[in-house]
Structure 1
Amino acid sequence: MNCARRLFLLDLSPKLHLRQLAIDGTGVRSFSFHYFLVDCGGELLFLHLVPTEKIAGRQFKAFRLDLSANRAAWVKMETLGNWAIFVGYGPQLPGLAVENPERWGGRSNSVYFATNGNDDRPWGVIQLGEEIDTSKIELRWFHGDPRQELKTSWVYPGF
């Protein structure tokens, strides 16, 4: 995915070729540049941090890439199921999905995210769709001009 959120496929045969994938958008109207591509059990997910109705409110929305129709589409996910997703400091780093996080004391259907670490932990965790109050939890990568952070991301899902 490039900085304009265009998704490309890399074909390896018969010869190396990069082609843009025609894809319908997420339907989320937002000026947020905070998003992550995540390989989650062989599916490509688009995790997007968007504003909520509250001034300082933000929440993660998740979409999976559906290639079953003539035109690919991002389909909204209501739950991550038994998966947890870890995101770092910005979209240049793909997220990491972990299945059955309860095995090590984690939480399913949750997003773990980096904070500024002003309290005793440099990270936070919320259930998918819950609201983050950025007046109380400062996201490490949230301030400044996020467009300066946008880079091309490479993700190799197992599909």
Structure 2
Amino acid sequence: MVKPRKFQRSDNSEIYYGVFTAPLSSPNSCLLLFSRKSMFRWQVGTKSWTDHPFVAARIHQIVSFKGQILAMDYLLKLNTISLAPRLGMPEVPLVWGEDMTAGLLKKSWLVVCGDMLLKVDLSIHDLKFCFQAYRLDLSVKPAKWAKLEKLGNWALFVSLDRRSSTFSSLNPERWGGKSNCIYVPSKSKDSDEPWIEVELGQFMSRRSHPISYILGRKSKQLESFWVLPSLVYGVNK
């Protein structure tokens, strides 16, 4: 168990998001907290917090990718969080392709999938909706989101609950899953299945498909979410 020094709150430091940058067993483990105007950092083992004011939209999600900490805000801009020599969060210049503007965007998630960083979008098209995936292409300047038609032998896991980490699974057939599919927890524990399986690019009815609950207003009740033990405990397998 670790315990940081008591966080001194002020009028502008109401915390809405927090994340560990690495498992507790890692020497680089630190806790990041975000308020409307500041980012706060506590390095595990130290006795003080570091405060870094920043001008950015509300943070939507944070992932670790190839040694970098990336944050997506509510405007879907991508930012790099730098911890040394000082805290900072510069924006990553990005180009959006024309195919990313089709339909009405409803939800977005960042998912690390092997050596790729994906942005998974749930968008509405008339009376139907579907999942689309875009790969971050850093080989060009500025970087761009390139549409991914298939996930290959991968399956992705996302959840409405933002405390739930997104993750991917290679060769999901090993545990009875399906490749090229996205898994979302069911709305209720009383559902026949604990999750909903949707193929990438598959169009679904806004009225009858089980996953349609995502399109409604966010419930104040606790949502179901995924837990991957290796993300918490640093297990290699």
Question: 2:113 maps to what in 1?
Answer: 40
Q: Which consecutive unaligned segments of at least 5 residues does structure 2 have?
A: 1-71, 220-237
Alignment partner of 1:79: what SS?
Answer: coil
Contact 2:196–2:210 at 8 Å: present in 1 too?
A: no
Contact 1:36–1:91 at 8 Å: present in 2 too?
A: no
Question: 2:57 maps to what in 1?
Answer: none
CA 1:91–1:64: 2 relative to 1, 3 Å:
farther
Greater CA deviation, 71-80 or 108-117? 108-117
CA–CA distance in 1 between the matches of 2:200 and 2:142?
A: 27
Q: Which of residues 122, 130, 146 is equivalent to 1:49? A: 122
CA–CA distance in 2 between the matches of 1:134 and 1:121?
A: 20
After superposition, give the CA deviation of every residue in 1:49-76 in whole Å (9 maximum; x if it has no partner).
01124x1x11000000000011000000
Cα deviation, residue 141, structure 1: 3.1
CA–CA distance in 2 between the matches of 1:91 and 1:77?
A: 24
After superposition, give the CA deviation of every residue in 1:6-60 in whole Å (9 maximum; x if it has no partner).
100123445443210010124322432301100111321000001124x1x1100
4+ residue stretches of structure 1 with deviation over 6 A? none
Alignment partner of 1:141: what SS?
Answer: helix
Contact 2:104–2:125 at 8 Å: present in 1 too?
A: no
Where do 1:126-137 residues align within 5 Å? 126-137=198-209
Q: Which of residues 139, 150, 161 is equivalent to 1:79? A: 150
Q: Which consecutive unaligned segments of at least 5 residues does structure 1 have?
A: 147-159
Higher relative contact order (CA 8 A, sep 6+): 1
CA 1:129–1:90: 2 relative to 1, 3 Å:
farther
Question: 1:9 maps to what in 2?
Answer: 80
Cα deviation, residue 115, structure 1: 3.5
CA–CA distance in 2 between the matches of 1:16 and 1:122?
A: 40
Contact 1:84–1:111 at 8 Å: present in 2 too?
A: yes
Greater CA deviation, 14-23 or 99-108? 14-23
Contact 2:106–2:215 at 8 Å: present in 1 too?
A: no
Alignment partner of 2:174: what SS?
Answer: helix
Tell me the TM-score normalised to structure 2 length: 0.55
Contact 1:26–1:63 at 8 Å: present in 2 too?
A: no
Question: 1:154 maps to what in 2?
Answer: none
In the alignment of these two chains, the number of paired residues is 144
Question: 2:214 maps to what in 1?
Answer: 141
CA 1:32–1:90: 2 relative to 1, 3 Å:
farther
- Structure with greater Cα Rg: 2
Greater CA deviation, 9-18 or 70-79? 9-18
Tell me the TM-score normalised to structure 1 length: 0.79
Contact 1:36–1:90 at 8 Å: present in 2 too?
A: no
Contact 1:37–1:94 at 8 Å: present in 2 too?
A: no
CA–CA distance in 1 between the matches of 2:148 and 2:110?
A: 14
